[in-house]
Amino acid sequence: MRHLVLVRAVMADGGTPKVAVVGPADGGPVSVAVATLEAKSGSKVTGTARVTPSASGALVLVTVQDASPGEHGVHIHEKGDCSDPAAMSAGAHFNPNQGAHHGGPNTPVRHGGDLGNINVNATGGGLLVVTVSDLSVDNVVGRSVVVHEKQDDLHSDPAGNSGARIACGVMRGE
């Protein structure tokens, strides 16, 4: 098993977050899933999502640009399809825990795709870093990552009252 040596987030001049991921100490390949987030539902929001293995599940890093300031729900959805202009083609939240209800990343039994909220600064940049115990690179490849227009309340089914899907990207293995 490989381990990440360093994950660093830098907010340069209060602007867009920059993420640097340095691979294993032996210089070998890192198993990773990556998505490029594209604007949906008439928004201008773009960004990236990255999932890497961690000792306790998966480390998820999501960055956004050109989003409205505040909190926005972020979820992994069951289908790897962002073709619909409103990203409805991404389907429901990824839910490997059949019968589980919506929650936050610290809710004991919840949809596996419930990642919580990304905090966006006044210039439209945001960074979410979360470790999720029931995710892995293998079970997210081919699924989509969606950023929502509103804050996720981390409770209400099916999507935490987080509103329209404003960015979407399909996870690809690297």
Specify whether 101 is catalytic. yes
Q: Cα–Cα distance between 63 and 28 in angstroms, integer?
A: 25
In tens, the pLDDT along 32-47 reads: 999 999 999 999 999 9
**Do 145 and 76 meet the contact criterion of CB atoms below 8 Å apart?**
yes
Specify whether 72 is catalytic. no
In tens, the pLDDT along 132-168 reads: 887 888 888 999 999 999 997 765 555 556 789 999 9
Question: pTM of the prediction?
Answer: 0.78
Specify whether 93 is catalytic. yes
Percent of the chain with pLDDT over 70: 69
Specify whether 66 is catalytic. no
Q: What is the reported pLDDT for 83?
A: 96
In tens, the pLDDT along 106-136 reads: 666 665 677 889 999 999 999 999 988 878 8
Of the residues 50, 72, 148, 152, which is catalytic?
148
> What domains sit in the chain, N to C, each tagged with a CATH number?
6-173 (2.60.40.200)
Specify whether 114 is catalytic. yes
Of the residues 2, 66, 81, 101, which is catalytic?
101
